[in-house]
């Protein structure tokens, strides 16, 4: 279980660059950061992807919520864990509805 590295283990510091770059007196008006490339609109309009993922999230959230409600139907008083599980289930189900409805894509124009 040895190493196959057979070189010198001594490292030398690289030489500092000799070219000096002076800061211009008037900086450019545009930002130096390039604009982000436009996203593929096909990903936002993929109806089958949204239906599959949204309905899966909605189903998973419904399952988590109903599993948390099962002891309540038997008359067991809810504890903090049960309430938290119900809140998480509702949150996951709401996330699925948001994926299905896609309110951001419809309310804001895609550039």
Share of the chain above pLDDT 90, in %: 42
pLDDT at 33: 58
pLDDT at 48: 87
For tokens 């509805």, name the residue. 97
Q: pLDDT under 70 in the chain at which residues?
A: 1-44, 105-111
Q: What is the pTM of this model?
A: 0.56
What's the token pair of residue 104?
């951001």
pLDDT at 53: 92
pLDDT at 50: 87
First to last CA, the chain: 56
| Angstrom distance (rounded) from CA 55 to CA 75 | 31
Closest CA to 65 of 81, 98, 88: 88
pLDDT at 110: 56
């Amino acid at each position: 279980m040895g190493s196959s590295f057979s070189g010198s283990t001594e490292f030398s510091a690289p030489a500092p660059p000799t070219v000096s770059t002076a800061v211009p007196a008037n900086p450019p008006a545009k930002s130096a950061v390039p604009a982000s490339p436009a996203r593929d609109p096909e990903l936002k309009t993929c109806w089958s992807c949204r239906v599959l993922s949204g309905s899966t999230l909605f189903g998973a959230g419904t399952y988590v919520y109903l599993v948390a409600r099962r002891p309540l139907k038997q008359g067991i008083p809810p504890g903090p864990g049960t309430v938290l599980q119900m809140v998480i289930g509702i949150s996951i189900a709401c996330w699925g509805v948001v994926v299905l409805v896609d309110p951001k894509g419809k309310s804001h124009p895609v550039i």
